[in-house]
Amino acid sequence: MTDRSSESLVAAAKETLTAGIAASGGQVWLACSFSLEDVAIIDIAHHAGISLRIFALDTGRLNEETYEVADALVERYHLPIVWYFPQHGAVEQLERADGLFSFRESLEKRHVCCGIRKVEPLSRALHGVSGWVTGMRREQSITRTDLVSFGPDDLNGGIIKINPLLEWREGDLLAYTESRRLPKNRLYNQGYRSIGCAPCTRAVEAGEDARAGRWWWENPEQKECGLHRR
């Protein structure tokens, strides 16, 4: 976008949300990981009067700081968050068979862990809905450069997937967060730029991209958990 003003970015996000929800023709949920992106979307939707139901995936491996943001959102916006959890039996079987850190042994084993802790709960969360909203941004990594603002999500039955912050840059997001004094995960102040499960997330080094701290032992083109496969 040539005009980087906060007003134009917020207006574009509202337009994408409104158009995407209309295209879905039914109930739309926001998948909230309590990132800066998701918090900004909640704030934008709230002040625009756009109704979004919110769900979150509790993988069992989240940081304490992530739960703090969830609590702050409930208090500030008086909104319900519907939590989804992995199937207990699947987690128990995985950890008994392969241990607690098998996801670091190979890409295949990491996908198994993500499948149990994220992908399967997501499929339950999206069952019966017409669309979902994410905080994905194009600049985050090479796996997200070909995203569109909204369109059918073939991985989830063709429901509409909406990315209202697609063209936002990290600086835009930080400026909006500060100007609105939004709840912010304390890990961002410790060098984290993308926050997921605690064992799979670390702070990034100077010059690294925003998602370099996610699954840092893998190649950049592999860094998706299955929720947003291309």
Catalytic residues, by residue number, are 225
Distance CA 159, CA 168 (A): 24
Q: Where are the alpha helices (DSSP H) in 78-119?
A: 88-98, 107-114
CA 210 to chain CA centroid, nearest Å: 13
Q: DSSP for 37-87?
A: HHHHHHHHHHHHT---EEEEE--S-B-HHHHHHHHHHHHHH---EEEE---
List the one residue out of 84, 9, 13, 69 whose CA is nearest residue 46: 13
List the one residue out of 121, 99, 117, 102 whose CA is nearest residue 29: 121
Angle between helices 88-98 and 107-114 (to 10 degrees): 160
Identity at 159, one-letter amino acid code: I
Pull the structure tokens for residue 28: 């739309």
List the one residue out of 229, 68, 49 whose CA is nearest residue 136: 229
